[in-house]
Structure 1
Amino acid sequence: MGWFGWRSARERGSAARATDAAAGDLSGPMAILEAMDQAAPKYLDRVDRGEVVYPACKRTPSDADGNLRAIWEHTRIEAMRYLIMVPGRKDEWLIDPARQAEMLDAFLRKAPHENTVIDFTGIVTEDFAIAIIAGLNWLIHCAVLAGVDRKKFSGTQSSFRKIAVVARRWWALEGSEPRCYHMLAQREKPPLMLYLIWLEYTRLAKEITATAVFGASMGQTRDSNLFRRALGDRRAEPDAVPAAVSDAMARLERAGDPEELQG
């Protein structure tokens, strides 16, 4: 099965990871899961110790990790944690091309819910579906807290289900598995369930971050000292602040991932 065997990322040995590296897969779906396995517990430990404001969307620029990159990244982690929490997690359901049709069917059979506090059933595909929906619900909750324009997140669950329907049709096409492997080799994103989740969570977390930092209207102005701290602008001239804010807004708009805001 190449990159996507029956074993999860945590069960694979160094030889398998070396094969992934040779195939150019380090930025692929397995790497996302491995990164979340490390990042989510560390972040939640910081939350438990009171080191950061939680949820991230409630931070101000004067708070620890109150910058654009951290708020975006941490908001996405908050949504992804539900997947990481699935008991007996078997990652092949999220990333193995041979499993995607069945996983998508299981997701589409699951009735939407509005919960962010969830109970798992012990049935892995059903638990993944519950976790995916809970992550979307968390982002809706954060969007409300941040004051995001409702038009930008209204119908989030139904929109994602439509994406899942299109993905299911893609996997029903002849040759979908070889086409998937070809796309992965080209560092493209085929409609693996993990990628569907990751891209949607990233998009919603970005909308939340923009509003949390810049306000519901891009024309709003916040305290200039707070913006200097958020944007790393240490210049004293008040006239420099609007330019710094405009630059930060443009960088956020162009970015496809929090890592692109580094530096």
Structure 2
Amino acid sequence: MLRKATADDLPALTALRCGAAKANPVDAAGWLQNVAGLENILVLEKSGQPAAMLAAVPVKYGQHRGVWLCGAAGMQGVPMDRLLPKIMEGCLRAYGASGFDFAVTTPDDARRAEDLKTLGFKSQLPLRVIQTPIRRDLFAQAAFDSLTVHKLLERRHIYQPGCISLPEEAMNETMTQLYRRGLTVVSTRRGYGLYFTKGDTLQFLELQADNDHCADQLLQAAREKTGAANARILLAENQTLYLGSGRRCGYGMIAFLGRPFSVTDAYFRMLL
């Protein structure tokens, strides 16, 4: 039986989330309650217990209403490769009938991406990956971890007015979890970046700046702080930073639940 989650399901769903996302119980419960929202989680019940789940989280893209399908997880022995497409197909049909305009999701691998295409999803939200050495600048200056989540979202929407976005409360939980994992936010008046330090490489989950020079200043300031001499940067394919650099990689997929519309300026990065 497929049903909406309730508060009584939280312990079982937390265990499912821990197994699927390799998360600790605190982060798993935080994601379920504060990012996805229990009211947005569909539960497949078996013998009276949650055996599998899928979240359908409301998001916005301009004036368009959508859902982010995410957090799929199942108990050991549950054939998610066969069940998940059926659950997603039911979600698409139900949300389309309720007036939603689109659904977005991120496939785990190429095989899952092919499965999603049979449900009407298209790979229209890809990323570019850039790996580059960071030129040293001893005088590069920036602030670190000084942006509130509210200010970060304001700046994100300035750089990406077509951002497919979650509510600020959900982003508060997202950033809290990322900070616990070691995230650093570097910022100047002309840009910002979110990165983890992995050995000699700064792994940027997001980088927004007025131009390449402003982006370089962020990288250089982060190098002076950490000593890491290389960067791996994830950019949306439609970002204008470092045009012509990097390689295209799959990330987001979108399915239109009604009449298709342009997504040329869409920015889709959920971070968790």
Q: TM-score, normalised by structure 2?
A: 0.27
- More strand, by proportion: 2
Q: TM-score, normalised by structure 1?
A: 0.27
- More helix, by proportion: 1
